[in-house]
Amino acid sequence: AALARLHRNAGRRVRVFKHGPDYLDPMVLEVASGHPVYQLHPWMTGETECRWRLAEAAQAADLLLVEGAMGLFDGDPSSADLAVLAGIPALPVIDARGMAQTFGALALGLAHYRDDVTVHEVIANRVGSARHVEMLERGLPPGLRLLGAIPRSEAMAIPDRHLGLVQASELDDLDAQLDAAADVLREAGLDRLPMPVTFTATPPAPLPRLLDGVRIAIARDAAFAFIYPANLDLLRALGAELRFFSPLADPDLPDTDALWLPGGYPELHTATLAANPSMLASIREHYRADKPILAECGGLMACMDTLIDGEGRPHAQFGLLPGTASMAGKLQALGLQSLATPLGELRGHTYHHSRLETSLSPLAHATRQAGSEGEPVFRQGSLTASYFHGYFPSAPSLVTAIFRGQAWEQQAP
Residue 50 neighbours by CB distance under 10 Å = 24
Cα(321)–Cα(362) distance, integer angstroms? 12
Q: What angle do CA 83, 85, 88 make, to 5 degrees?
A: 40
What are the tens digits of pLDDT across the range 235-283?
A: 999 999 999 999 999 999 999 999 999 999 999 999 999 999 999 999 9
CATH code linked to domain 215-404 = 3.40.50.880
Task: Exactly one of 28, 107, 133, 297 is catalytic; name it.
Answer: 297
Instruction: Using CB atoms within 10 Å of the CB of residue 190, give its burial: 0 to 12 exposed, 13 to 18 middle, 19+ buried.
Output: buried
The answer for residues whose C-beta is within 8 angstroms of residue 177's C-beta and 6 or more apart is 155, 158, 171
Which pLDDT does position 412 carry in this prediction? Answer: 36
Mapping DSSP to helix (H, G, I), strand (E, B) and coil, where does residue 18 land?
strand
- CA gap 142, 53 in Å, rounded: 34
Q: Among 403, 407, 396, which Cα is nearest to 291's?
A: 403
Residues 194-246 pLDDT 10s = 889 999 898 899 999 999 999 999 999 999 999 999 999 999 999 999 999 99
Pairwise CA distance, residues 171 & 267, whole Å: 19
Does residue 374 contact residue 368 with C-beta atoms inside 8 Å?
Answer: yes
Identify the DSSP state of 78.
B
Amino acid in position 263: G
Residue 92: is the preceding peptide bond cis (ω within 30°)?
no
Name the residue type at position 8.
Answer: R
Q: Closest by alpha carbon to 370, among 329, 338, 323, 394?
A: 338
From-to residues of CATH 3.40.50.880 in the chain = 215-404
Peptide bond into 393 cis (omega under 30): no
3-state secondary structure of 21: coil
Tens of pLDDT, residue by residue over 330-360, are 889 899 999 999 999 999 999 999 999 999 9
pLDDT band at 147 (very low <50, low <70, confident <90, very high): very high
pLDDT of residue 410 exceeding 60: no
User: Stretch 90-103: mean pLDDT, rounded?
Assistant: 96
Give yes or no: 297 in active site. Answer: yes
Q: How many CA atoms lie within 13 A of 241 on its CB side?
A: 8
Helix (H, G, I), strand (E, B) or coil at 235: helix
Global pTM value: 0.94
Q: Which fold has domain 2-187?
A: Rossmann fold (3.40.50)
Question: What's the pLDDT at 349?
Answer: 96
Q: In the chain, which residues fall in CATH 3.40.50.300? A: 2-187
